[in-house]
Amino acid sequence: MPREDAPHESFDVDPPYVPDHEALAAVEKYDDRFLDRELSWLRFNQRVLELAEDRSLPLLERARFLAIFTSNLDEFFMVRVAGLKRRIAAGLAVRAASGLMPREVLECIWETARELSQRQARVFRDDIIPELRDHGIEIVRWSDLDPDEQKYCKKLFKDRVFPVLTPLAVDPAHPFPYISGLSLNLAVVLRNPETAKEHFARVKVPPIFARFVPLGNARFVPLEDVMRERLKRLFPGMEVLEVHTFRVTRNEDLEVEEDDAENLLAALEKELLRRRFGPPVRLEVEESISPAVLDLLVSELGVTRDEVFRLPGPLDLRGLHGIADLAREELKYPAFVPTTHAKLAERESAAPVDVFKAARRHDVLLHHPYDSFATSVQRFIEQAAADPHVLAIKQTLYRTSGDSPIIDALIDAAEAGKQVLVIVEIKARFDEQANIRWARKLEQAGCHVVYGIVGLKTHCKLSLVVRDEGDGIRRYTHIGTGNYNPKTSRLYEDIGLITTNEAIADDVAQLFNNLSGWSRNASYEQLLVAPDSVRTGLVDRIHREIGHHRAGRPARIRFKANSIVDEAVIDALYLASQEGVPVQLLVRGICALRPGVPGLSETIEVRSVLGRFLEHSRVFWFDNGGEPEAWIGSADMMHRNLDRRVEVLVHLPGPESCSAVDELLTLAFDADTDAWILGPDGTWERSHGDVHLQETLIERQRTRRTAG
């Protein structure tokens, strides 16, 4: 059966639709047409919190969503709030696209984040703790311990905890200590019985121990409770008057000058050291803290009263991951094991086959985690490394796991004499240190390691394998929406394409040349590449849909993304809506577009799906006059992606891949599918449909496996 390597011919719109001044003015007259991106992100984290509140979900999964909510909010303050404060202080902050001034945004952030944090604490106290107790899992405080448990904790403190504690006093000879970001701390007020003089000390809760101490019989107590009751051992001869927990969040966003690319590695390592000492942006304290201790913390840490979050204890619920990991399978999502894609498995034995052989027969469109990453992308790279006919492997790496088989395979390939080029993005936020280690390890093995283009992050997900097949050279390409990370591939929903399409291979080879050399070709046949052509390419296709709609041909736009913020793309979608083109947007996180505004966006629907897997793929679909066109890739609709990163979208070749994407989007936008719906005022309301997107896809995968 012949392959369909050639891209579909689209209907040309003649003349091409180009919005005139009047059409643009009809959009721009809506001054409040953009929702604020920071507040939209907080609404995303609110949806995560609503999953923790959802009693239809397994209990331990709800506890995990509370931990995820905490981690999400931590990163938001470390990066977004810290950056906003820095711009305000430098006088560089300008009015946001939403119309809000920077100070107004900051005040809204404090108010909303405080409300959500209080709500999280209530959910934990009033819902999760009682329900855990009903299922035989107890999180208790010190006063709830029986004598045997107290005895156990005292011994644990003496043998394990006490030896690693370092109390830091505050007095004229001891300045207020540095408080590391996200550490949990005890603020201790002491009194010398001989002089009656009061003193202050700080004790850090060691992060090397379990956040919730296991007591046996599925009972747990916060580690700070154990420490609080045994502090007299740290301060012999002193009276312990007060003990309060507190936690500081610091600016941990990186600022690296890239004028000299050769020194980028050293500059980044230096900046990572500086990150540890970033200024505070949030102070969390237990609501029982005394005014005097709070005044001291506020003064010494240099935070404002607005940045203080008084919360019910215990603070820092990231430790609930440990509770969620308990071996209570009946309180978790049913076990899920990805299966090998049908085109990569023998029909009779379901044993993995040669990826190259399969790819020569037909394109393989992968949908992770439903399709196994290990038996597809990972196997692709491992087979390339071991295959004597493979001459070269070119790969981008943005984030990968600590024990990555991808890294091992690339090292094996280099040591076997193959040409191996690896584009390592060492500025991947919070993975910088790990990526520096990988970069050096790869270089030592003989790989050609490049750090991308100065001034841009390399965020695209590309692999190119060059193979000598006797009758000539054939190139195999993988382009995906997710990182080459075997661990997150089991948790993140992503789409990838393995193909031998020559036009795609030509484009990818040229892009690798751009990334590793001085080539600056910005013209591609089957790719849209940021910062040159993703925004303009998508806007042009949105305009083309308007032309098709005006001509009476099928026209529809469907996007799936993590975030949609870019004003130019949003305005193009508004323009399409004003012309009557149906627009459907599936957005996991931030959405700055207002749907359903009369006269502006009446044909636009925005949905969000959250669940056991993190929806991460980016898909762009156009009905294109009856010849549908679909693109997948790494780019979200955000300024950083479109202007400051190397991103790639690939045009899916052949109708089969396009049909698979169509099926996914159709299910996501089905009226019966459970989702959150965005209103024109920026609020999200959950539509409790009978169909759950991820569970339906899991069931379909199981059905295919059974049928096979």
Q: What is the pLDDT of residues 413-427, one digit of tens each?
A: 999 999 999 998 766
Lowest mean pLDDT among 227-241, 292-306, 426-440, 592-606: 426-440
What pTM did the predictor assign?
A: 0.91
Closest C-alpha to 569, from 635, 495, 488, 664: 635
The pLDDT tens digits for 623-635 are 999 999 999 999 9
Residues 525-547 have a mean pLDDT of 96
pLDDT score recorded for residue 276: 54
Is 706's pLDDT higher than 80?
A: no
Residues 667-692 have a mean pLDDT of 96
Per the annotation, the verdict on 692 as an active-site residue is no
Structure tokens at 147: 């004598």
**Number of CB atoms found within 10 A of residue 701's CB:** 18
Closest C-alpha to 120, from 312, 286, 332: 312
Considering the chain, what percentage of its residues have pLDDT values greater than 90? 77
Cα–Cα distance measured from residue 526 to residue 534, given in angstroms and rounded to the nearest whole number: 12
- Give the Å distances, CA to CA, from 702 to 342, 348, 492: 12, 17, 18
pLDDT score recorded for residue 520: 66
Is 171's pLDDT higher than 60?
A: yes
| pLDDT tier for residue 255 given thresholds of 50, 70 and 90 | very low
- Of 162-176, 249-263, 318-332, where does the model show the most confidence? 318-332
Is 269's pLDDT higher than 70?
A: no
- Give the Å distances, CA to CA, from 598 to 574, 594, 602, 604, 685: 11, 10, 6, 11, 19
Is 267's pLDDT higher than 60?
A: no
Residues 9-22 have a mean pLDDT of 75
Query: For 531-654, where are the alpha helices, taking DSSP H only?
Result: 534-550, 567-578, 639-643
Residues 187-211 have a mean pLDDT of 93
Amino acid at 429: R
Q: Read off φ and ψ for residue 268, nearest 5 degrees.
A: -70, -40
| pLDDT tier for residue 16 given thresholds of 50, 70 and 90 | confident
Lowest mean pLDDT among 371-375, 653-657, 699-703: 699-703
Closest C-alpha to 619, from 538, 518, 674: 538
Residues 80-97 have a mean pLDDT of 87
Structure tokens at 188: 């201790």
Residues 201-210 have a mean pLDDT of 94
Amino acid at 187: A
The pLDDT tens digits for 563-583 are 999 999 999 999 999 999 999
675: Cβ contacts below 8 Å, ≥ 6 apart: 607, 608, 609, 668, 686, 687, 689, 693
| pLDDT tier for residue 176 given thresholds of 50, 70 and 90 | confident
Domains and CATH numbers, the chain: 21-31+528-707 (3.30.870.10), 106-331 (3.30.1840.10), 342-518 (3.30.870.10)
475 beta partners:
466
pLDDT score recorded for residue 6: 39
Residue of 244, 459, 651, 692 with catalytic role: 459
| pLDDT tier for residue 262 given thresholds of 50, 70 and 90 | very low
pLDDT score recorded for residue 424: 84
The pLDDT tens digits for 466-500 are 999 988 999 999 999 999 999 999 999 999 999 99
Q: What single DSSP character describes residue 330? A: G
633: Cβ contacts below 8 Å, ≥ 6 apart: 460, 461, 479, 481, 528, 534, 618, 647, 648, 649, 650
Lowest mean pLDDT among 438-442, 502-506, 507-511, 560-564: 438-442
pLDDT score recorded for residue 1: 33
The pLDDT tens digits for 346-376 are 655 555 679 999 999 999 999 999 999 999 9
pLDDT score recorded for residue 21: 93
